[in-house]
Amino acid sequence: MRGPEYVAPLLEMFAAVAGASVRERPVFSAINCTIAPLQHDAPMTEASLALARAGVPIVIMPMPLMGTTAPMSIAAATVITMAELLSAVVLFQLAAPGCPLIAAPESAVADLHSGLYLCGAPELTLMSLACVEMCKHYGLPTQGPGFGADGKAADFQEAAEGMAACVQGALVGADSLVGLGTFDGAQGTSLAKIVLDDDAAGLVKRLVEEVPFTAAEALLADIGEVGPGGHFLARRSTRERRRGGVWQPQVFRRGTFESCRGRTVVGDALERAHALLATHEVPPLPDDVQRELVSIATAFRRVAS
């Protein structure tokens, strides 16, 4: 629930856990969705304004659907998305000048056969790229298209659609990407896909890294010493760069075919996910902090009732 009455206890809880106010230690952000076409949700916006005044970064997320809550045109849906986003920027900056904002244009496509939300359609990526470019023009930190798509499992369709969006979003300069582990139009989450998307994110990050072309990186001495017909495997530079020079996945397949016989990459990813969950330990909150959280929740229930 996103009403303004929840803001005060929420901020108290985060301050209790973090040991400082969210302005001093901004440990979370809040999403504020506009309502397409061209509206703001009153309770959510009031709550978000209160959070912004307290120093919480607000993620502005317009989500018009081309064909239903936006016109059936990439350009027109982009106009709707940016109008909603910029109106929210103006609103928040008037209410809390200088408050931190993140632009998250999430325009998508409606499946006119079923009415469902499509987040793997290429038109979504094209709209997102235009919006990210505009947000960069306005100097806004941006969140780009995500890894989630419209496949019904952690399968080839999910990977193909998700990576098409993510690679383009990263190349156009989005500051972050979303949807890790989601599938079926962001209606489901898969432990295996979270692990697979972690590798996908590493691959995308490597793709957009700046490659240095310097005299040192050209390794001209090695090339000259090995010469025509030689081999670089025994070179010291090869040994020193064998890890950092080539991106290494956690579960994506490499090596021989025989080493992977009888297993699937999704199965390996699920096995790794279970291992991570089994071995990860979360330090418990101190007793006094737990007591304070209970006290805040109890007081809120008493007032709310």
What does pTM read for this prediction? 0.92
d(CA 16, CA 296): 10
Q: What percent of the chain has pLDDT over 90?
A: 95
Structure tokens at 53: 């005044």
d(CA 236, CA 222): 9
- The per-residue DSSP string of the chain comes to ---GGGHHHHHHHHHHHHSS-TTTS----EEEEEETTTEE-HHHHHHHHHHHHTT--EEEE---EETTTB-SSHHHHHHHHHHHHHHHHHHHHHHSTT--EEE----EEE-TTT--EESS-HHHHHHHHHHHHHHHHTT--BEE--S--S-SSSSHHHHHHHHHHHHHHHHHT-SEE--TTEETTTTEE-HHHHHHHHHHHHHHHHHHSPPP--HHHHTHHHHHHH-TT---TT-HHHHHHTTTTS---SSS--S-SGGGTT--HHHHHHHHHHHHHHH--PPPPPHHHHHHHHHHHHHHHHHH-
**For the chain, what is the mean pLDDT?**
95
Identify which of 78, 103, 79, 105 has the alpha carbon closest to the alpha carbon of residue 90.
103
Structure tokens at 206: 């490597």
How confident is the model over 159-196, as pLDDT tens digits?
A: 999 999 999 999 999 999 999 999 999 999 999 999 99
What integer pLDDT is reported at residue 1 of this predicted model?
Answer: 59
Beta bridge partners of 59: 31, 102
144 conformational bin, left if phi > 0, alpha if psi -120 to 50, beta if neither: beta
What integer pLDDT is reported at residue 243 of this predicted model?
Answer: 81
How confident is the model over 246-263, as pLDDT tens digits?
A: 999 999 999 999 999 999
Domains of the chain: 4-209+249-304 (3.20.20.480)
Q: Is the pLDDT of residue 58 over 90?
A: yes
256 conformational bin, left if phi > 0, alpha if psi -120 to 50, beta if neither: beta
How confident is the model over 207-246, as pLDDT tens digits?
A: 999 999 999 999 999 999 999 999 999 999 999 998 888 9
Q: Specify burial of residue 107 (Cβ count, 10 A radius: 0-12, 13-18, 19+).
A: buried
Which band of pLDDT confidence, cut at 50, 70 and 90, is reported for residue 2? confident
